[in-house]
Every structure is written in C-alpha cells, then in structure tokens.
Structure 1
Amino acid sequence: MPRSRPLKGEEAEVKHVVETHDLSPDQARELLRRHGNDWRKIDEAAKSYKDEK
C-alpha cells in the first residue's frame, strides 16, 4: 500500500535519488513511495525515467 505521507528521513532519501539520478524531487518521491527502500528497484526505475526523456 503506498504511503500518503513522507516518512521521517524521507527527504534525505529524496535528495539522494535526485542527486544520484538527476530526477525531479516529485519523481524521486514517487519512486520512494512505489518501491520503499528497495534501492535496486529505485535505481532501475530511475534509469527508465531517464530513458523516457
């Protein structure tokens, strides 16, 4: 079930995804909501976001 509110510390994760994958904060939040702390899935999804651009 997706989270509707950010968890404590999520902004640090959002910042990490934004800086690592050059995504917008909204895209990063969406990935974190969708995949939780599964960084392998987040990395794969972030790459597909970049491929769509």
Structure 2
Amino acid sequence: MARVRDSDSRRAKKPRSRPLKGEDTEVKHVVDTHSVSESQARELVRRHGNDWRKIDEAAKSYKDEN
C-alpha cells in the first residue's frame, strides 16, 4: 500500500466558501450591496480580486461621482 505524503493530503479539494474571482455570484453581491451597475461591479472584482475593503472603498467612490 502506498504511503500518503503530507503534501498530498493538503491538496484534497474542499468545498469553496467563496466564489472564485470574477464569478457572477461575487459580481451580483457587489451590485446588490453597493447599488452599482453590473459592469462597474465586474470591473471592481477584476481589479481588486477578493479584497472586499478595497471593493467597498471603490464602490463608494462610484456612488460619490453620480
């Protein structure tokens, strides 16, 4: 029987608790929470990834411009 190395056990897939960067669920969340357009939300997610603090700050600046 083959031995399982520690590095192999760390690679086991776990269910994700958050969507991957750029996924529609993440974009929809930004649209719903910040009242920005879908294209603006998609740009924020693309630019800032999953750094929600930066996304919040940038979304507020979009609102201030309007």
TM-score of the alignment, normalized to the shorter chain, above 0.5: yes
Instruction: Determine which of 6, 30, 43 is the counterpart of 1:30.
Output: 43
Unaligned runs of 5+ in 2: 1-19
Greater gyration radius: 2
TM-score scaled by structure 1? 0.82
Distance change (3 Å), C-alpha of 1:10 and 1:47: same
Q: RMSD over aligned Cα, in angstroms? A: 1.6
Number of aligned residues:
47
Q: Matched residues, percent identical?
A: 81
Unaligned runs of 5+ in 1: 1-6
TM-score scaled by structure 2? 0.67
Residue 12 (structure 2) aligns with: none
Give the whole-Å Cα distance in 1 for the aligned partners of 2:52 and 2:23: 13
Runs ≥4 residues deviating over 3 A:
none
